[in-house]
Amino acid sequence: MNLSDIDIELLLFGKWRFNTEWEKISIEFKDDMTYTQTRTQTFILSKPRELFTGDKFSGVWYVNYGRLFLIVKSAPQSVFNFHLPILSKVYLADAIASLMSLFVSEKYEIVKINPTEFLLKDEKQSIIGKRIIKKSSFSSLQS
Protein backbone atom coordinates (compact mmCIF):
# COMPACT_ATOMS: atom_id res chain seq x y z
CA MET A 1 0.00 0.00 0.00
CA ASN A 2 1.48 3.33 -1.07
CA LEU A 3 -0.57 5.69 1.09
CA SER A 4 0.98 7.97 3.69
CA ASP A 5 -0.24 7.87 7.28
CA ILE A 6 -2.08 11.17 6.74
CA ASP A 7 -3.81 9.80 3.62
CA ILE A 8 -4.95 6.78 5.64
CA GLU A 9 -6.22 9.02 8.45
CA LEU A 10 -8.24 11.08 5.95
CA LEU A 11 -9.81 7.91 4.54
CA LEU A 12 -10.69 6.68 8.05
CA PHE A 13 -12.82 9.67 9.08
CA GLY A 14 -16.43 8.52 9.47
CA LYS A 15 -18.28 5.41 10.58
CA TRP A 16 -17.14 1.86 9.88
CA ARG A 17 -18.57 -1.58 10.66
CA PHE A 18 -16.43 -4.68 11.29
CA ASN A 19 -17.56 -8.22 11.98
CA THR A 20 -15.26 -10.78 13.55
CA GLU A 21 -15.96 -14.35 14.60
CA TRP A 22 -16.95 -13.30 18.12
CA GLU A 23 -18.16 -9.73 17.90
CA LYS A 24 -19.74 -7.01 15.79
CA ILE A 25 -17.94 -3.69 15.98
CA SER A 26 -18.87 -0.23 14.79
CA ILE A 27 -16.37 2.62 15.09
CA GLU A 28 -16.68 6.29 14.30
CA PHE A 29 -13.32 7.93 13.67
CA LYS A 30 -13.59 11.66 14.32
CA ASP A 31 -11.38 14.39 12.87
CA ASP A 32 -10.22 15.45 16.35
CA MET A 33 -8.47 12.04 16.53
CA THR A 34 -10.99 10.59 18.98
CA TYR A 35 -13.25 7.62 18.34
CA THR A 36 -16.38 6.01 19.71
CA GLN A 37 -16.79 2.27 19.45
CA THR A 38 -19.58 -0.21 20.08
CA ARG A 39 -18.62 -3.88 20.52
CA THR A 40 -21.42 -6.45 20.65
CA GLN A 41 -20.31 -9.93 21.63
CA THR A 42 -21.81 -12.69 19.44
CA PHE A 43 -19.98 -15.61 21.07
CA ILE A 44 -21.90 -16.73 24.15
CA LEU A 45 -18.79 -17.32 26.28
CA SER A 46 -17.69 -13.71 25.69
CA LYS A 47 -20.98 -12.22 26.90
CA PRO A 48 -19.88 -12.06 30.58
CA ARG A 49 -17.02 -9.75 29.61
CA GLU A 50 -19.53 -7.44 27.93
CA LEU A 51 -21.60 -7.39 31.13
CA PHE A 52 -18.60 -6.04 33.07
CA THR A 53 -17.07 -3.67 30.51
CA GLY A 54 -20.21 -2.60 28.67
CA ASP A 55 -20.34 -2.38 24.90
CA LYS A 56 -19.41 1.28 24.36
CA PHE A 57 -15.89 2.67 24.46
CA SER A 58 -14.20 5.89 23.49
CA GLY A 59 -10.64 7.00 23.16
CA VAL A 60 -8.00 8.41 20.86
CA TRP A 61 -6.61 7.00 17.63
CA TYR A 62 -3.72 7.58 15.30
CA VAL A 63 -1.93 5.96 12.37
CA ASN A 64 1.83 5.40 12.46
CA TYR A 65 3.82 3.53 9.79
CA GLY A 66 0.63 2.03 8.33
CA ARG A 67 -0.62 0.76 11.67
CA LEU A 68 -3.83 1.90 13.36
CA PHE A 69 -3.62 2.44 17.12
CA LEU A 70 -6.74 2.65 19.31
CA ILE A 71 -6.23 3.83 22.88
CA VAL A 72 -9.27 3.36 25.14
CA LYS A 73 -9.90 6.28 27.49
CA SER A 74 -13.41 5.54 28.78
CA ALA A 75 -15.94 2.76 29.13
CA PRO A 76 -19.09 4.66 30.06
CA GLN A 77 -21.37 1.63 30.35
CA SER A 78 -19.11 -0.48 32.55
CA VAL A 79 -20.61 -1.69 35.84
CA PHE A 80 -17.36 -0.48 37.42
CA ASN A 81 -18.00 3.09 36.30
CA PHE A 82 -19.21 4.51 39.58
CA HIS A 83 -18.03 7.49 41.62
CA LEU A 84 -15.12 6.93 43.95
CA PRO A 85 -16.18 8.30 47.35
CA ILE A 86 -12.88 10.15 47.84
CA LEU A 87 -12.70 11.77 44.40
CA SER A 88 -15.80 13.24 42.85
CA LYS A 89 -16.04 13.30 39.06
CA VAL A 90 -13.68 10.30 38.77
CA TYR A 91 -15.06 7.00 37.51
CA LEU A 92 -13.31 3.76 38.41
CA ALA A 93 -13.63 2.02 35.01
CA ASP A 94 -12.45 5.13 33.14
CA ALA A 95 -9.49 5.49 35.51
CA ILE A 96 -8.54 1.84 34.95
CA ALA A 97 -8.93 2.23 31.16
CA SER A 98 -6.72 5.33 31.16
CA LEU A 99 -4.09 3.63 33.28
CA MET A 100 -4.09 0.49 31.09
CA SER A 101 -3.84 2.63 27.94
CA LEU A 102 -0.40 3.73 29.09
CA PHE A 103 0.81 0.14 28.64
CA VAL A 104 -1.56 -1.49 26.14
CA SER A 105 -3.27 -0.21 23.00
CA GLU A 106 -5.11 -2.02 20.25
CA LYS A 107 -2.79 -2.20 17.24
CA TYR A 108 -3.80 -3.20 13.70
CA GLU A 109 -1.81 -3.41 10.50
CA ILE A 110 -3.64 -1.66 7.67
CA VAL A 111 -3.53 -3.96 4.66
CA LYS A 112 -5.91 -2.10 2.33
CA ILE A 113 -8.12 0.96 2.56
CA ASN A 114 -10.29 2.86 0.13
CA PRO A 115 -13.37 5.09 0.62
CA THR A 116 -15.72 2.10 1.15
CA GLU A 117 -13.61 -0.86 2.37
CA PHE A 118 -10.97 -1.31 5.03
CA LEU A 119 -8.89 -4.46 5.55
CA LEU A 120 -6.84 -4.65 8.69
CA LYS A 121 -4.98 -7.38 10.51
CA ASP A 122 -4.27 -8.04 14.18
CA GLU A 123 -2.18 -10.87 15.61
CA LYS A 124 -4.93 -13.45 15.10
CA GLN A 125 -7.03 -12.55 12.09
CA SER A 126 -7.79 -10.27 9.18
CA ILE A 127 -10.84 -8.08 9.60
CA ILE A 128 -12.83 -6.44 6.81
CA GLY A 129 -14.59 -3.17 7.51
CA LYS A 130 -17.30 -1.47 5.49
CA ARG A 131 -18.04 2.25 5.63
CA ILE A 132 -21.47 3.08 6.96
CA ILE A 133 -22.95 5.58 4.54
CA LYS A 134 -26.07 7.56 5.32
CA LYS A 135 -28.69 7.51 2.56
CA SER A 136 -28.21 11.23 1.83
CA SER A 137 -24.45 10.66 1.46
CA PHE A 138 -25.04 7.64 -0.77
CA SER A 139 -27.29 9.56 -3.16
CA SER A 140 -24.67 12.32 -3.49
CA LEU A 141 -22.01 9.69 -4.28
CA GLN A 142 -24.13 8.35 -7.14
CA SER A 143 -24.53 11.80 -8.76
Q: How far apart are CA 44 and CA 64, in angstroms?
A: 34
Q: How far apart are CA 109 and CA 81, in angstroms?
A: 31
Bridge-based pairing state of the strands 23-29 and 14-19: antiparallel
Cβ contacts of 83 within 8 Å, gap of 6 or more: 89, 90, 91
This prediction has a pTM of 0.74
Total of domains in the chain = 1
Domain residues for the domain of 53 are 5-142
For 57, the enclosing helix (H) or strand (E) is strand 56-64
CATH code for position 75:
2.40.128.280
pLDDT digits (tens, 9 = 90+) for 36-89: 998 887 777 766 665 566 678 889 999 999 999 998 887 755 555 555 566 565
Mean pLDDT of 15-34: 91
